[in-house]
Structure 1
Amino acid sequence: MTPEPTSSPGNIEDRLQLLVEAVVDYGIFVLDPQGLIVTWNSGAQKLKGWTRSEILGRHFSIFYPPEAVASGWPQEELRRATRDGRFEDEGWRLRKDGSRFWANVVITALRDPATHELTGFAKVTRDLTERRAHEEALRASEERFRLLVDSVEDHAIFMLDRGGLVQSWNKAAETILGYPASTIMGRHLGLVVPDADREAGHPQATLDGATRHGRIEEEGWRVRHDGSRFWAKSVTTAVYGRSGELLGFAVVLQDKSQQKRLEDLERSSRRMSEFIAMLAHELRNPLAPIRNAVTLMQLDKQLPDRHARVRDIIDRQLTQLTRLVDDLLDVSRLTTGKITLRPERVSLAEVVRHSIETVRPQIDARGHELTVSLPADEELVVEGDPTRLAQVVQNMLVNAAKYTPEGGRVQVRARRCGSEAEVEVQDNGRGIDAQDLERIFELFAQAETSGLPQAGVDGGLGVGLALSRALVRMHRGKLGARSDGPGRGSTFSMRLPLASR
């Protein structure tokens, strides 16, 4: 038999030395018990820049920044390695040229197998600068993302684990839902949904839906820390790892209470408009036969005085009721956008004259002094619907007559102002408080000037001015009011663009 080759200690050491020399990605060298370098491999030379002849016999603290040397850290490393048998650390180290690199260092205490006496230290150094740069870049990216998420003020953004427990919580989540991060972390998503939804399994259904479809969007009631409810829109997205495993869920939640209130108000307003339109049409049907009956009674000159007085009462109230129904119909047309114009070239002065003729009986009945100042017809020509413009002017005149005491003054002026035509109706009546100058143009709004009489005339529904302003705007014009205050009269002014010649 051929004897097996034997390995002498020298051969083993030579092979180990060759192995150490072959490693070029790690600096591997040996220190004596005092920290002086006694061996040096090619990896150490590549990593640190010193040749074997330059570095042997020097203290290993030469690889440490001055601040680390000053604090005694190199000796502390040897002390811990001596105590524990092994020491591992990461930190800045120096190359021969003075440049720094981030190193992973493992120092192992070497002891005599027989006596256990410390004979030195084996040190392995690895350059982790590139890995650290990636980690720093990742940390910076995560920090920027965190700052971005925290800077979002109107969206609660938070992460859940696979079981629905809160893992992150931005500032907006704290503001919207009322839970500080310290009290919500680790608690279940069901905490912010109503009891009935939680008992019905809604939170888990949301997570299951996001898992199946990747993303689920929903709206519903949510509960704040103080127990109050709000309407929320939420998007829950499943988050997966690189290997496809489910990591958790990202939730973005927004408080939509204000929007819901506006939508509910819009629906209510639409239903109200539909009801008003139906009511006006239903009321108008019986008015025609009642008007015919009153007209026939007026033709009868032989009615007893008592019956004639009753007939006149019916006539007056029927006129008022007809006006109210017409106002309701105009409200319906205004809110549904069904008012249409039939524009043509029209003299605004002529429109004013016809409007005065229509309203004069009311003015005369109250003994008002009426003064009119109009230019020639050709001076104020506009593109507009004469019927609708007359409706606006008549409303201005009716308001003046209505809110001016008996024997008061009403002035009507029409004039050219640059490229516009202006119609003003001024009175010395009850006036308008400054806070009401815009409110009176809202639907169903009327000025409430305390202590002043209503001029003895029913104020109506408060529709006329709102409708008038809408009509003027449809003509690309403006309608406004001004007053020096209660008891000091008011002026209504309409401006329209002049028609091109």
Structure 2
Amino acid sequence: MSAVEPTPNGASHPHSLIDVDEARRYKLLVEAVLDYAIFLLDPDGFVATWNAGAQRFKGYDASEIVGKHFSRFYTKEDRAASIPERALATAATAGRFEAEGWRVRKDGTRFWASVVIDPIRTNEGHLIGFAKITRDITEKHLGESQLHTAQQALYRAQKMEALGRVAGGLAHDFNNFLTIISGAANLLENPALTPENRQRYVRTIADTAQRASQLTKQMLAYARRQPLKPANFDTRSCVEGMKKLFESTLGSSIRLQYEISSEPCVVCADMSQLENALLNLVINARDAMPLGGNLKISVGSADSHPDGRGGAISSPLVAISVADDGEGIPAPVLEHIFEPFFTTKPVGKGTGLGLSQVFGYVNQSGGYLDVTSAPNKGTTFTLFFPKVFL
């Protein structure tokens, strides 16, 4: 059998020369790469080849590193944890090992590396070594780390700002309550007080204590620590039972419409808290339409709710919406409406806890609260609850 094979143009080359040429071209290609360390390891992890890219950012000449174990590129901590050995074991069993982490140069400095290790096997499947590719991504890693640090700092600042607003609002409101109670108690000490005035001051103290208790409940609901009493009920009946209250709250200048599904809309939640939430939304809608307008309350089924990132989460749901065509909410304000004590109403017209209470209740019930609004185009609040099938 001939050791040569004709080529299309009639010339011929020995197979051995073709293999040598291919090997030479491959070696030249690998050695020319400067942005990646590309080298081979034997089955035990000792370096067999070394390219210019490896020398550039690891610092070793080929004569210094060939024959040495590749674990010297790892930190002391990683070597103590047997990370190099586990990397080879993973590559051999899973077919590839990929990771990022700190690696050590010849001069002892560290760099953040992206590492890929692939096993090399014979046609029969015997492991004869590993191909290892390492890339220096220190700048990218530091940039991501700095961004994360900045985001955490911003988050902490926002958290402290919100905490300060909560503390300030609570101190202000409770100080008002204490002032009223203290003043009424002092007046009760007057021996010349008439029975009528005495009774009036006692009622003032009781009413103020009740308002303070309600504020505490609102804060607990926002913090999701308000004990709820969930039970299965049809939300259509809940809305039907509140119609007269809604009408008396809105007055004659606002036209109230209902869109109630003909199918059951059963949820498992605290019905009294849902009533409070809906009344709160109706009062806000009334305040957003000082000259009158239209308010629509809808109850029905839904297949999904927004995920807060522009997408949607699919699930059987009951959706209850309160939509007005009032003043609307500007975008900068919309971002803060669920924060406790945030309010655009005049002093004495609201504590700024209503929407935060609604938000806390819906989330504590396993639901989702969505709001859409635009200036002069109205606002729609939609409460989504998991649907119960009886």
| Length-normalised TM-score, structure 1 | 0.40
Task: Mark the structure with the bigger radius of gyration.
Answer: 1
| Length-normalised TM-score, structure 2 | 0.49
